[in-house]
């Protein structure tokens, strides 16, 4: 602020600000800002509304689509088919809509990614908060931030063109030596899952690090006074105390992995198969959405509606994970002060 | 910690492990594992960056920046995508900055603790966890389909609006933190001089929170231009031989172009995909550098 008070122009005592005008302006601004805040609610309504609308339209059309081949199908048989059928072929002439196919692939890749991110992220978090000096911390945290800021399409490139060939080279001798060892195909869930794990590692590390760092020093001092070593302190005092934060970071990372799109679309392929074989191409929920939208699904077709059904399933899974994570933190958070 | 854990452990039964050398050995192994994990993470980042540099540096030249996509990899360039991304960035900033900052001002400065505020807060927390491709489906249904007369269908405006909604929660959260960091004494001093709430906010709170807000907005923008999935969902196509000339033009963007080239079987396209990634990463790095500059200035002045 510059001091531009009109001291010399106005005689003392005659300064009368226009209070009613500034009050009106304040009210207008307040209403506009409130409307902007309401946009976030409108977004949620928009998301849920479109998903529900098209989902209902899908289940309305489903019996008709299924009864083309054989006898007529009721509404509930349609839902049963959606939940239990073992094939996912909405773009073929003979259409089948077993969402389980897409869910199995999504779950498999998510668990592979967690198997990478859990040890890597948690150990990195322990290292940063317990072992690293302040100086090293200042260098390592930005590195993790860079890792978190890399666009996912870049990870997709890395998974498809670097990691898969690397694993093929690594596992080649095994394939030759053991006749039953499966061949790693060009598109596979393994590389996609591992690179996805690398992508969510910074998230696990930084959220867990926050939780571990906020455990009070007095707990560590108490443990040392009882004669424990550093590892025993970390393992049996610090980690249990930070457990709620660590678990919630893992669940959030899992939700992120379930909804991740580009890595799985590029590296895991587009072949809807039921099962948990990480060596062959699979198709996740997100990859299906990309496949259909990239190929321009005309409005009103069953393919267009399947987009939103898959989106709804994805939305419900991630929402459940996010809500569970919030609940977990609230329920199990330890307060020390 | 609670006391229930102890009966199950060896401590209470007297089998305390007194082998100190063994315990210290375990300590060393554990420390090595922790450092190892951190080093592995850094090495993977280095591997990723090196691969892309080595793959892409050879085909990165001025011609690549100034050409439109082509069926021949040696002639293909990133001009359309570069301009598409710049257009997107302007649109996203134009919408998400005022809306995000306005919403944050409302939540932080104007509102009382009522049902509306609490609803918005819970809502923002949940929106931040919604996968980006779901925003793409929202954009497809609302901006491309329902608002087609305004947005022109699969246009750069639809893409920008979708991405603006996507980063809105991030901007709101960052702005609220910046506003919260402004000392309350500044507000009280303003009130004491007879200013009303908006005058205090616009003359004192916002200017001193602005570096923090800009940091958050730039970081959110850098996230938006790296997003691929929502743009594919609303139907951005990779093969466009012109730069956008209006809000309703069809468009492509850098991540879309990269995705398209990576997905092709020929290795030559993979090289230009890597070149595109280098350009994208340089843009992101610049934006992050600007954000860090603002953050440091912010911390110094306080």
- ipTM confidence: 0.87
Rounded-to-integer distance, Cα A70 and Cα A56, Å: 23
Q: Residue B8 has what pLDDT?
A: 46
Long-range CB pairs of B235-239 (<8 Å, 24+ gap) are B235/A293, B235/A296, B235/B140, B235/B144, B235/B154, B236/B84, B236/B154, B236/B159, B237/B154, B238/B69, B238/B81, B239/B69
The count of CB pairs under 8 A between chains A and B is: 259
Q: Residue B138 has what pLDDT?
A: 93
Residue showing tokens 């901006």: B143
Mean pLDDT rounded to a whole number for chain B: 86
Put simply, whether B217 touches A (Cβ < 8 Å) is: no
User: Which residues does chain A have within 8 Å of residue B196's beta carbon, measured at their own beta carbons?
Assistant: 19, 22-23, 26
Q: Residue A48 has what pLDDT?
A: 94
> A258–B131: do the CB atoms touch at under 8 Å?
yes
> A143–B42: do the CB atoms touch at under 8 Å?
yes
Contact between A40 and B122 under an 8 Å Cβ cutoff? The reply is no
> A319–B274: do the CB atoms touch at under 8 Å?
no
User: Which residues does chain B have within 8 Å of residue A286's beta carbon, measured at their own beta carbons?
Assistant: 131, 133, 229
A181 assigned to some structural domain: yes
**Pick from B34, B138, B232: CB nearest A293:** B232
> What domain count does chain A have?
1
> A262–B172: do the CB atoms touch at under 8 Å?
no
Residue-range definition of the domain harbouring residue A114: 99-302
> A46–B138: do the CB atoms touch at under 8 Å?
yes
Residue of B nearest to A25 (CA): B198
The pLDDT of residue B2 is above 50: no
Rounded-to-integer distance, Cα B261 and Cα B156, Å: 21
Q: Residue A279 has what pLDDT?
A: 87
User: Smallest CA–CA separation between A321 and chain B, in Å?
Assistant: 9
Phi-psi region of B62 (alpha: psi -120 to 50; beta: other; left: phi over 0): alpha
Band of pLDDT at residue B98, cut at 50, 70 and 90: very high
> B222–A149: do the CB atoms touch at under 8 Å?
yes
Rounded-to-integer distance, Cα B213 and Cα B207, Å: 10
| Lowest-confidence pick of A318-327, B9-18, B117-126, B193-202 | B9-18
User: Which residues does chain B have within 8 Å of residue A37's beta carbon, measured at their own beta carbons?
Assistant: 102-103, 106-107, 111, 116-117, 120
The helix/strand count (H/E) of chain A reads as 14, 0
Higher pLDDT, B33 or B245: B33
B198, containing H or E segment: helix B197-200
Rounded-to-integer distance, Cα A140 and Cα A150, Å: 16
> A252–B107: do the CB atoms touch at under 8 Å?
no
Q: Residue B158 has what pLDDT?
A: 92
CATH number of A197's domain: 1.10.3720.10
Architecture of the structural domain at B63-301? Orthogonal Bundle (1.10)
Q: What is the pLDDT along chain A (337 residues), one digit of tens a residue?
A: 455 555 556 566 666 777 788 889 999 999 999 999 999 999 999 999 999 999 999 888 888 777 765 567 778 888 888 888 888 888 877 788 888 899 999 999 999 999 999 999 999 999 999 898 889 888 888 888 888 889 999 999 999 999 999 998 988 888 888 877 788 888 999 999 999 999 999 999 999 998 998 899 999 999 999 988 999 999 999 999 999 889 999 999 999 999 999 999 999 888 888 888 888 889 999 999 998 888 777 787 888 889 999 999 999 999 999 989 888 888 887 766 5
Structure tokens at B292: 């860090």
The pLDDT of residue B208 is above 80: yes
**Pick from B52, B138, B259: CB nearest A50:** B138
Contacts with B77 (C-beta within 8 Å, 6 or more apart), sequence order: B63, B64, B65, B66, B67, B68, B69, B70
Q: Residue B3 has what pLDDT?
A: 43
A164 assigned to some structural domain: yes
Contacts with A52 (C-beta within 8 Å, 6 or more apart), sequence order: A312
Q: What is the pLDDT of residues B48-58, one digit of tens each?
A: 999 999 988 88
Residue showing tokens 């649109």: B91
The pLDDT of residue B1 is above 60: no
Angle made by CA atoms A61, A65, A69, in degrees to the nearest 5 = 160
Band of pLDDT at residue B13, cut at 50, 70 and 90: very low
Average pLDDT over residues B164-190: 93
User: Which residues does chain A have within 8 Å of residue B107's beta carbon, measured at their own beta carbons?
Assistant: 37
Q: What is the pLDDT of residues B254-302, one digit of tens each?
A: 999 999 899 888 888 899 899 999 999 999 989 988 888 887 776 655 4
**Pick from B107, B133, B233: CB nearest A37:** B107
> B262–A161: do the CB atoms touch at under 8 Å?
yes
Residues of chain B numbered 277-296 and touching chain A (CB < 8 Å): 277, 280-281, 284, 288
Closest CA to A131 of B23, B43, B17, B39: B39
Contact between B272 and B286 under an 8 Å Cβ cutoff? The reply is no
Contact between B126 and B141 under an 8 Å Cβ cutoff? The reply is no
User: Smallest CA–CA separation between B52 and chain A, in Å?
Assistant: 8
User: Which residues does chain B have within 8 Å of residue A120's beta carbon, measured at their own beta carbons?
Assistant: 37, 40-41
The pLDDT of residue B17 is above 70: no
Q: Where are the domains of chain B?
A: 17-59, 63-301
String of DSSP letters for A197-219:
HHHHHHHHHHHHHHHHHTS-HHH
């Amino acid at each position: 602020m510059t001091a531009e008070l009109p001291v010399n122009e106005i005689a003392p005592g005659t300064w009368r600000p226009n209070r009613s005008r500034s009050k009106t302006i304040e009210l207008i601004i307040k209403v506009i800002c409130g409307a902007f805040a309401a946009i976030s609610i409108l977004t949620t309504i928009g998301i849920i509304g479109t998903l529900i609308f098209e989902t209902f339209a899908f289940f309305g059309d489903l019996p008709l689509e299924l009864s083309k081949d054989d006898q007529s199908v009721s509404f509930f048989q349609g839902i049963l088919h959606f939940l239990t059928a073992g094939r996912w072929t909405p773009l073929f002439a003979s259409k089948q809509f077993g969402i389980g196919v897409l869910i199995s692939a999504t779950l498999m890749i998510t668990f592979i990614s967690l198997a990478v991110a859990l040890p890597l992220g948690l150990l990195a978090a322990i290292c940063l908060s317990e072992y690293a000096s302040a100086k090293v911390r200042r260098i390592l945290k930005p590195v993790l931030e860079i890792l978190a800021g890399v666009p996912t399409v870049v990870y997709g490139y890395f998974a498809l063109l670097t990691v898969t060939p690397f694993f093929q080279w690594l596992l080649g001798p095994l394939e030759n030596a053991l006749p039953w060892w499966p061949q790693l195909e060009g598109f596979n869930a393994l590389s996609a899952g591992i690179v996805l794990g690398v992508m969510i590692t910074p998230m696990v590390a930084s959220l867990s690090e926050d939780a571990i760092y906020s455990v009070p020093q007095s707990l560590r001092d108490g443990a040392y006074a009882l004669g424990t070593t550093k590892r025993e302190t970390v393992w049996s005092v610090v980690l249990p105390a930070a457990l709620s934060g660590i678990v919630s970071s893992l669940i959030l990372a899992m939700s992120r992995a379930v909804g991740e799109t580009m890595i799985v679309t590029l590296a895991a392929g587009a072949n809807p198969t039921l099962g948990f074989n990480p060596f062959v191409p699979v198709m996740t929920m997100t990859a299906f959405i990309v496949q259909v939208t990239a190929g321009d699904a005309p409005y009103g077709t069953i393919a267009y509606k399947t987009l939103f059904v898959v989106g709804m399933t994805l939305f419900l899974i991630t929402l459940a994970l996010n809500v569970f994570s919030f609940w977990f933190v609230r329920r199990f958070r330890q307060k020390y002060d | 910690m609670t006391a229930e854990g102890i009966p199950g452990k060896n401590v209470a039964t007297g089998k305390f492990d007194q082998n100190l050398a063994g315990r210290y050995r375990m300590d060393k192994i554990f420390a090595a594992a922790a450092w190892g994990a951190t080093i592995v993470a850094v090495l993977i980042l280095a591997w990723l960056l090196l691969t892309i540099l080595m793959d892409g540096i050879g085909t990165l030249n001025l011609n690549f920046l100034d050409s439109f996509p082509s069926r021949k990899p040696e002639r293909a360039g990133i001009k359309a995508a570069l301009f598409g991304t710049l257009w997107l960035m302007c649109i996203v900033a134009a919408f998400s900055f005022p809306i995000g900052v306005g919403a944050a001002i409302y939540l932080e400065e104007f509102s009382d603790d009522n049902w509306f505020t609490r609803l918005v807060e819970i809502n923002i927390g949940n929106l931040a966890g919604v996968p980006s491709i779901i925003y793409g489906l929202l954009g497809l249904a609302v901006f491309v389909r329902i608002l087609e007369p305004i947005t022109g269908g699969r246009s750069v405006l639809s893409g920008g609006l979708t991405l603006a909604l996507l980063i809105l929660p991030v901007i709101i959260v960052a702005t609220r933190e910046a506003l919260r960091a402004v000392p309350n004494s500044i507000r009280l001093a303003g009130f004491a001089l007879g200013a009303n709430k908006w005058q205090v906010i616009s003359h004192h709170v916002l200017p001193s929170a602005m570096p923090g807000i800009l940091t958050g907005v730039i970081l959110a923008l850098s996230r938006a231009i790296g997003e691929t999935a929502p743009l594919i969902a609303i139907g951005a196509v990779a093969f466009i031989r012109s730069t956008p000339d209006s809000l309703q033009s069809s468009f492509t963007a850098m991540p879309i172009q990269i995705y398209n080239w990576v997905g092709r079987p020929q290795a030559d396209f993979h090289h230009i995909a890597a070149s595109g990634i280098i350009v994208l990463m340089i843009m992101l790095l610049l934006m992050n550098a600007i954000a860090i500059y603002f953050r440091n200035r912010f911390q110094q002045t306080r």
